[in-house]
Amino acid sequence: MPAFRAPRGTRDLLPDERAVFDRLMRLAADLTQRYGYLPIETPLFELTAVFERGIGEVTDVVEKELFRLAPRTEEAESWALRPEPTAGIARAYVQHGMQTWPQPVKLTTTGPMFRYDRPQAGRYRQFWQFDVEAIGDAGPAIDAEIVELGHRFYAEAGVEGVEVLVNSIGDPACRPPYMATLTEYYRGHAAQLPPTERDRLERNVLRLLDSKDPDMADLNAGAPRITDHLCEACAAHFESVKAHLAAVGVPYRVEPGLVRGLDYYTRTAFEFYVAGREGQQQALGGGGRYDGLIGLLGGRPTPGIGFGLGLDRVALVLAEQGHTQPVDASPLAVVVSADPDDTVSRLRVATELRTARLRVRADLGRRKLGRQLEAAGKDGAHFAVILGDELAEGQVQFRDLQAGTQRTVALDDLARELARAEASHRHG
């Protein structure tokens, strides 16, 4: 057992997995650019109040899962690591007066989030999200555009069988009366409620609806549905979101129990799952509309909507579905030499080739030429550049390791030769 391990609930992304994340992040960057999102980076920690006010104090994320930083005596402020980026981005929108920019302001970020949760497969204390936020558009068309963007991300990443679940959770006009109806319903069945759910009933009744406790399944199936209690404006908004989704060909299912775990949501709420995995707290991603959030953080009331897609879970599913492969680090060529001690020439020639943007390794050990060539083959290199006596005349041996052929090439032509060989190798 090593003396030190990565902290519980965190993990090291070793090269193969890190390469998958790289690919996902490149895809996220490419897609968001296509859809007109601008990149933003906010701090990994914020004043705790940003999360308490934005996400809500009676949510698991703030109440139980916030990574609070120990206050330092010289600072009177209390900070926490970000459990999600939306509150921080909304804070930045207000702070930088983005309401004066052309609306909506469409922002995207990808990075690590922190939640002090009980670790299990697919649930970590540090995890990565690809996030988009469109602030300043009340929808409903943009709601569908964002769901479609999320759906496309999974498709282009190669994840199979992603389902889109949508719901409307109403607004400050229709949600309170619905919550009263819901509270009444659960109170009527108080004896059947597990203790934790009974406690939540009085504090945040919506949470009961997405309870993963199997004892709640029957009770929840019979609960009054928010979609039957929407005010006229919310109902019309929801109908229009669905019509826009249909127009862009995104298949979806209305899930009346989908209420999301953060308090800032209004109206549209959605989640992405791999078919058959719903209900295991294994959402691949989720999001929704938050028309009250900017106001809560001190800005002029401004509507917004966005999503966060969990990259760790996407990577897991890609691996399960057999869509990952080991990262290819093989060089195009390895520079070796007949003189085991002449590491200077090898390093110099390799450096020149790298200046010409070629993927080259120098064999920097002091071993015999045969062993150097053997290692080059094991590396998966296509070519070896062999330095020998003719280096003094500006010439090297250029060996095609796969074809087993070799010829003399002038050092001055080497980069051009290699680049040409790489191109024909790639296209051939």
Q: Strand, helix or coil at 352?
A: helix
Q: What residues numbered 231-270 form the site for ligand HAM, per CB under 6 A?
A: 261
**Buried b / exposed e across 318-340, counting CB within 10 Å, b at 16+?**
beeeeebeeeeeebbbbbbbebe
DSSP per-residue codes, 273-328: EETT-TTSS--SEEEEE-TTHHHHTTSPP--EEEEEEEHHHHHHHHHHTT------
Record the tokens describing residue 84, joined without a space: 């999600």
Distance of closest approach, residue 308 Cβ to ligand HAM, in angstroms:
3
- The DSSP letter of residue 173 is T
Asked whether position 140 contacts ligand HAM by CB under 6 A, the answer is: no
Asked whether position 56 contacts ligand HAM by CB under 6 A, the answer is: no
**Buried b / exposed e across 248-287, counting CB within 10 Å, b at 16+?**
eebebeebbbbbbbbbbbbbbbbbbbbeebbeeebbbbbb
**Applying CB under 6 A, which part among 126-134, 207-215, 316-324, 391-399 lies near ligand HAM?**
126-134
Phi/psi of residue 205, nearest 5 degrees: -60, -30
Which residue lies nearest ligand HAM, judged by its C-beta?
A: 310
Asked whether position 307 contacts ligand HAM by CB under 6 A, the answer is: yes
Q: Which helix (H) or strand (E) holds 86?
A: helix 86-95
Asked whether position 115 contacts ligand HAM by CB under 6 A, the answer is: yes
HSE-up of residue 342 (Cα within 13 Å, Cβ side): 17
219 vs 274, beta carbon nearer ligand HAM = 274
Phi/psi of residue 293, nearest 5 degrees: -65, -45
Asked whether position 398 contacts ligand HAM by CB under 6 A, the answer is: no
Q: Strand, helix or coil at 65?
A: coil
Asked whether position 205 contacts ligand HAM by CB under 6 A, the answer is: no
Record the tokens describing residue 155, joined without a space: 């498709």
Asked whether position 286 contacts ligand HAM by CB under 6 A, the answer is: yes
Asked whether position 108 contacts ligand HAM by CB under 6 A, the answer is: no
Asked whether position 292 contacts ligand HAM by CB under 6 A, the answer is: no
**Applying CB under 6 A, which part among 102-110, 182-190, 203-211, 282-290 lies near ligand HAM?**
282-290
Residue located via tokens 């800032």: 264
**Applying CB under 6 A, which part among 173-181, 285-293, 365-373, 395-403 lies near ligand HAM?**
285-293
Asked whether position 287 contacts ligand HAM by CB under 6 A, the answer is: yes
Give the Cα separation of 335 and 243 in Å (integer): 61
**Applying CB under 6 A, which part among 30-38, 185-193, 301-309, 337-345 lies near ligand HAM?**
301-309
HSE-up of residue 109 (Cα within 13 Å, Cβ side): 18
Asked whether position 133 contacts ligand HAM by CB under 6 A, the answer is: yes
Ramachandran class of 139: left when φ > 0, alpha when ψ lies in -120 to 50, beta otherwise: left
Asked whether position 11 contacts ligand HAM by CB under 6 A, the answer is: no
Distance of closest approach, residue 185 Cβ to ligand HAM, in angstroms:
25
Asked whether position 150 contacts ligand HAM by CB under 6 A, the answer is: no
Asked whether position 310 contacts ligand HAM by CB under 6 A, the answer is: yes
Asked whether position 312 contacts ligand HAM by CB under 6 A, the answer is: yes
Taking alpha carbons only, the member of 44, 110, 91 closest to residue 302 is 91
Of 124, 154, 178, 238, the one binding ligand HAM (CB under 6 A) is 124
Of 52, 60, 63, 117, the one binding ligand HAM (CB under 6 A) is 117
Give the Cα separation of 60 and 116 in Å (integer): 10
67 vs 185, beta carbon nearer ligand HAM = 67
- The DSSP letter of residue 7 is P
292 vs 308, beta carbon nearer ligand HAM = 308
Asked whether position 84 contacts ligand HAM by CB under 6 A, the answer is: yes
User: Is there a contact between 421 and 409 (Cβ–Cβ < 8 Å)?
Assistant: no
**Applying CB under 6 A, which part among 22-30, 172-180, 308-316, 347-355 lies near ligand HAM?**
308-316
**Angle between helical axes of 411-427 and 343-355 (0-180°, round to 10):** 60
Of 79, 93, 127, 238, the one binding ligand HAM (CB under 6 A) is 127
Distance of closest approach, residue 68 Cβ to ligand HAM, in angstroms:
17
Distance of closest approach, residue 360 Cβ to ligand HAM, in angstroms:
38
Of 169, 259, 284, 334, the one binding ligand HAM (CB under 6 A) is 284
Distance of closest approach, residue 285 Cβ to ligand HAM, in angstroms:
5
Q: Which residues bind ligand HAM (CB under 6 A)?
A: 84, 86, 115, 117, 122-124, 127, 129, 131, 133, 261, 283-288, 290, 306-308, 310, 312-313
